Amino acid sequence: MLNGSTQGEVFLIGAGPGDPELLTLKALRMMQEADVVVHDRLVSQAILDLIPANVQRIDVGKKPNHHPVPQHEINALLLRLAEAGQRVARVKGGDPMIFGRGSEEAAVLRDAGIPVSFAPGITAAQGVSASTGVPLTHRGLAKSVRYVTGHCRGDMPLDLDWDGLAHTDTTLVVYMGHANMQYIAGELMNHGLPAEHPVLVVVNGTRPNETRLVTQLGALQTKRAVIPVPGPVLFIVGRVVSLLDDMGQNATDAILDAPELRQVLHG
């Protein structure tokens, strides 16, 4: 309820990768109890449709000029709404604490004395693992899993712990990787991974238009990953990719040759 005399609060909510059935009950309740929802571009329409019609929505995923609203403006907006007594649902794709800047927003709000609570979300890696049937760990194939960002702030070079990442028994999940995946594949091979090491590329994971491609590090390094299908892209690098349901003996080539996938990855 809007009430100028009482302080508002902010719910930092993970909406998951897109499929509305992956929302937690807590996330849904918080969205429905809010006065206003502030959401990102990655929050799917199917999830926005669950917000009651009387709840105000603010899309900070894009401005009229198509650029996202800068983080400091989002922080200021959340603060302003909460200080005006509103219950604010800040809804983010996936999990707000995994490459989601949820903790940055929480810090600003807490510094101003605004109560903050969280609802975790299914992160893209886990959503895609479930939708494709590719596990992130598997006895004999992957003893550990690492989530890494494929993109650094501004023009900063991508400075990852390549030696630590290039292990055949580790699954690597690369978020925000599509612009740098050629470089990432090259560095992983320079640090010891074989050119045949499998890679699963998933666009729009868990959504009705989910698109998959199976390839290998060597191919990724030499071909430019052009993703004309609009939507978020996740890369899963590791031997676990061999467990993809519909992958037979020679399926890698078959899948690379499939016309609908040629649009996803071409040289």
Q: Of 64-72, 77-85, 89-97, 183-191, which part binds ligand SAH (CB under 6 A)?
A: 89-97
Pick the piece of the chain touching ligand SAH (CB under 6 A) from 3-11, 193-201, 203-211, 236-244.
203-211
Cα distances (angstroms) measured from residue 240 to each of 127, 192, 206, 217, 248: 15, 18, 19, 14, 14
Angle at 232 between CA 227 and CA 234, to 5 degrees: 85
At residue 114, the 3 state secondary structure works out as: coil
Nearest distance, CB of residue 140 and ligand SAH, angstroms? 27
CB 249 → ligand SAH: shortest distance, Å? 27
Q: Per-residue contact track with ligand SAH, 109 to 128, x per CB under 6 A?
A: --------------xx---x
Residue 228 and residue 95: Cα distance in Å, rounded? 25
Q: What is the DSSP letter of 70?
A: P
Residue 190 contacts residue 216 (beta carbons within 8 Å): no
**Residue 70, number of CB atoms within 10 A of its CB:** 11
Paired with 174 in beta bridges are 148, 235
Q: Which of residues 183-202 bind ligand SAH (CB under 6 A)?
A: 202
In total, the chain counts a number of residues equal to 267
Q: In this chain, which of 35, 60, 99, 211 binds ligand SAH, going by CB under 6 A? A: 99
**Of residues 62, 63, 143, 169, which has the active-site annotation?**
62
Question: How many residues bind ligand SAH, per CB under 6 A?
Answer: 23
Which of 90, 205, 219, 241 touches ligand SAH by CB under 6 A? 205
176 is catalytic: yes
**Token pair 């590719």 in the structure block, residue:** 134
Q: How far is the CB of 178 from ligand SAH (least distance, A)?
A: 7
The secondary structure of residue 20, as a DSSP letter, is: G
Active site residues: 40, 62, 176
Question: Could you list the residues that contact ligand SAH (CB under 6 A)?
Answer: 17-18, 42, 92-95, 98-100, 123-124, 128, 175-176, 202, 204-207, 232-234
